[in-house]
Structure 1
């Protein structure tokens, strides 16, 4: 990496939790300089404006989450049902980490991604599309292998899983009570075992 690339990466990494906690719109240039230890000139020497920093930080935060979730759909899990259960287990095991870093970066950005910040809204849309694609692809793969009910709509279940998880995270974070997320994850597990599984337990 060049010196300029290292500086940009330093800015992104040092402000990742800041943006996710304080907000992509509310975070100020002064907040960025304080978090990075750099001057405003250094920030503007590497980014056109604060919005560009926010977009790159969002991509970084969403990318970290995406890489971690992708492991759930990796080859080490023998069946598609195992992959879906691993996806749910990620949230059971990592909710403290997610919450301590400000919550789900996709959901946080989505609450801000209105018409006042269309560039961020577009990035959030892409993230949700990628997330739904991974889940629905696992379901379709299971249908082809005869592991998952061929009559279910993969995209509908994928979107429902995301809605339940995001809603569970939102309520748990707001109420300070993990049980809301656990209830959502329990419901998803039940759907995997009793609605998707070709041989319900």
Structure 2
């Protein structure tokens, strides 16, 4: 039992350091040697836990990237209350909450999608799974908003969900090109206008 716990802690350490390196330098630019150096592990110790960079990449997606999206963008959608207010606060509060480092480096999920989304089917499936979960919860919330008469009944819920996800992920990527938040302020203004158009 003690050995299993130690092994799990070691794996969490590897995943954490790998995530930081992938986020900062990119997945393809990061080697197993880079991860070993960051974790201060020998080659034998590393390969005892992960057989390949491919396996490690999947763990990073499932344990780090999925958790970030779930905690930041999916969990808030499940809160009780007024659907439109939840929609506005989730997207607007999240975009305002990012650190300077996060703004400079963009969205980890978006970075992975752009770098390796078509690279390997297992990565594609893992990333798509996150987007689908996000979309599903948005659709549920939008449908709830329709029942509350807070959102127009005639709008296509899935289309709105995908648009919101795409705009959010897009601005995270575009922000990397700028040295200030003016582009984010414009996105926030545009998002507020769009959400207002969903109201009856």
Same fold, TM-score > 0.5, yes or no = yes
User: Does residue 116 in structure 1 map to residue 119 in structure 2?
Assistant: yes
Instruction: Tell me the alpha carbon deviations over residues 95-129 of structure 1, each in whole angstroms, 9 at most, x when there is no partner.
Output: 32662683211100001124432221221111111
Partner of 1:183: 186
Instruction: Tell me the alpha carbon deviations over residues 27-46 of structure 1, each in whole angstroms, 9 at most, x when there is no partner.
Output: 10111011111112111100
Contact 1:168 1:182 in 2 (8 A): no
Q: Distance in 2 between matches of 1:64 and 1:71?
A: 10
Matched position secondary structure for 1:174: coil
Instruction: Tell me the alpha carbon deviations over residues 126-174 of structure 1, each in whole angstroms, 9 at most, x when there is no partner.
Output: 1111121222211111112222110111111111112211221111112
Show the 5 A alignment for 1:64-103.
Answer: 64-75=68-79, 78-96=81-99, 99=102, 102-103=105-106
Q: Distance in 1 between matches of 2:174 and 2:134?
A: 21
Partner of 2:150: 147
Structure 1 consecutive aligned stretches of length 4 or more whose deviation exceeds 6 Å: none
User: Does residue 132 in structure 1 map to residue 135 in structure 2?
Assistant: yes
Partner of 2:34: 31
Extract unaligned runs of 5+ from structure 2: none
Q: CA deviation at 1:90?
A: 2.6
Extract unaligned runs of 5+ from structure 1: none
Contact 2:73 2:94 in 1 (8 A): no
Contact 1:168 1:181 in 2 (8 A): yes
Q: Distance in 2 between matches of 1:152 and 1:90?
A: 24
Between the two proteins, the alignment pairs up a number of residues equal to 196
Instruction: Tell me the alpha carbon deviations over residues 10-57 of structure 1, each in whole angstroms, 9 at most, x when there is no partner.
Output: 111122221122112221011101111111211110012111111111
- Please, what is the CA RMSD of the aligned residues? 2.0
Matched position secondary structure for 1:73: helix
